[in-house]
Amino acid sequence: MSWTAAGGECHPDPGGFPHDALLHDSLDHLVATAAPFLRAGLDAGEAAVVTASAPTATALRDALGDDPRLVVVDRHDAYRRRTPAAITAFRKLAEAQRTAGAVRVRVLGEVDHGPTERDWLEWERYESVVNEALRGWDLWGVCAFDTQRLPESVVDSATRTHAHLVTPQARTPNPRFTGPAAYLRSMPVPDEPLESTPPRLAADSVADFVGLRHAVAAELAGLAAPADVVEDFLLAVDEMTSNAVRHGLPPVSLRLWTGPDRLVCTIADGGPGWDDPFAGYGPAHGDDLSRGGMGLWLARQLCDHVDISGGAHHPGDGGVRVRLTTLLR
């Protein structure tokens, strides 16, 4: 397989974000595909970056002759705990490498998908979102998926969220690829068992926003949880309640649950909702933060899970419902 201009692979999808899946059953298989990809980038004046597990990074360093131009980034510095932060990290990586003179950045990435189905779902969503969120950032990503180790659902999702598949022999269009908007709309909203129990706090027809904030803060004050975690959660609740009051329709309601391992809050309004599956993965108005539009973006960075149902996004009982979940680690 050629990853060079002669092979027609040097500039796929101009102006887009080439985003390929490398499904492998061994480290040798991964290296046989990824090392030529990275080497071709270095030969073309592009940056070559590996953000992967230590064994993968070491094997690729060895395959490239310990080339000093190869940039190895700890994968937990790139794939942050919350997926919007990972998008920001890759944008900063692209900016830094372009400033250093690279014409483009090739990245071999290997996500730590986490131990639970809930974690897997967040990263499956991320793999679809980045097709749009990283468009135009002069990045070419090849994502490695170990078919022997990863859950079947994660591997299946990889074939739905990457437009091309790569092997040591070829880079081919992926017939199972699903457009990001359609894929994101098809993803389920997971059940939350706490919602079947009485809430710690319930507020209907919210009118006193300041009073509600004090009530939520009072319920969270006595918890055996880190103060910064509680403060982040309270800020996210503030942002989503403010959004519902300003942009939705009455009635606005709130439900709060606390468990030994997590905090959960739902905010609902009676509005028609929206149909933007990419909402909250960046400020609504880009880099111009003075224009606002940061509420859902902040919530996704402050909470472990943000689930949206109702409206056109996920039809339900009418209105829009945002569920915030923070894990108490």
Tokens linked to 10: 């040097």
Taking Cα atoms as reference points, which of 45, 35, 33 lies closest to residue 1? 33
Is there a contact between 280 and 239 (Cβ–Cβ < 8 Å)?
A: no
Q: Which residues of the chain carry a pLDDT beneath 50?
A: 5-8, 285, 288-293, 312-315
Contacts of 6 by beta carbon, 8 Å cutoff, 6+ apart: none
Domain boundaries of the chain, sorted by first residue:
5-186, 193-327
CATH class of 5-186: alpha beta
User: How confident is the model at residue 31, as a pLDDT?
Assistant: 98
Residues paired with residue 267 on neighbouring β-strands, in sequence order: 254, 322
CATH of the domain spanning 193-327: 3.30.565.10
What tens digit of pLDDT does each residue of 108-154 get?
Answer: 999 999 999 999 999 999 999 999 999 999 999 999 999 999 999 99
pLDDT of residue 15: 63
Q: Which amino acid is at 127?
A: E
Whole-model pTM: value is 0.89
- Domain 5-186 and domain 193-327, same fold? Reply is no
User: Phi and psi (nearest 5°) for 328?
Assistant: -95, 90
